[in-house]
Structure 1
Amino acid sequence: MVHNTLFKVAEVELTYKPKYKPSERPQISTSKQAHEVFIAHWSLGKIELIEEFKILLLNRRNRVLGIVDISMGGVTETLADPKVIFAIALKSGASGIILCHNHPSEELQPGKADVDLTRKLQQGARLLDILILDHLIVSKDAFYSFADEGMM
């Protein structure tokens, strides 16, 4: 009986519910386009209240595979666990990731923790042959792009 329990392991399950035909998936080529996709999937009633972290998963042609809510935190921070991010990216077959979180204060400049997390995720992604294409910090009406500011 003990031997049977040794082989029972949990599987990370990812549900993929495409809302588009592959040819109709949005293609992301600018930070503005990425911002529009993220904001369309954000609860704008919460964007000034709590910090959230999301990722956009892209195929090799930068077409959107999906958007995933990674975490929801408090007023001043949220946790973005690299293990969770990469498990989802690998399970979905993503070639690229765009990171995104909001600052409820609407201060769009990245803090040290934002920069450190981005670098850490870039290092891990390189090992997995995944590109971290950008990291956006968003508010209702504006955004900051690490890529546009030469930080990627």
Structure 2
Amino acid sequence: MDHFSTDDIDEVYAWGRQIHRLNLCKDRILELYLAPYEITAAQFKVMLMMNRDGLTTSADLCRCISLDSGAMSRMLDRLQNKKMIMRVRSTTDRRQFHLALTEQGHDFCRQIPLIALKSFNELLAPLTPSELNELDRLLKKLVIPAGI
């Protein structure tokens, strides 16, 4: 179903801007809670994927986060410098490395649920419970057909 025509391009841009602003707001709030750990929102997402989903390769992380390999490599370098992750050479293919959480990384990952809860409670505080349920329903209606 088409909701917009060429006459509505300014409204289309406004929708895009609002969606982008909401994502920025989410990341800014998240970074407030991450500041004591010296972790960025983007690094948080990598740590979350490694911990929750067991991702162990740069390629898998790139696919899940939609980040190019160069940017991911730099991010993994920063996480390794922070002693959150380590690269371990594959025993079956010397050209390949697997990623693993360090003890410090595991310690941080134990904080992830509380950080996520606080961040999303702050982000979504203006919504009533019924508005939150409606937002959830609408978001699912948009992302499920996209396969995301």
Normalising TM by the smaller chain, what interval? under 0.3
User: Taking structure 1 as the reference length, what is the TM-score of the superposition?
Assistant: 0.24
Would you tell me which structure has more strand in proportion to its own residues?
A: 1
Q: Which has the larger radius of gyration?
A: 2
For normalisation by structure 2, the TM-score amounts to 0.25
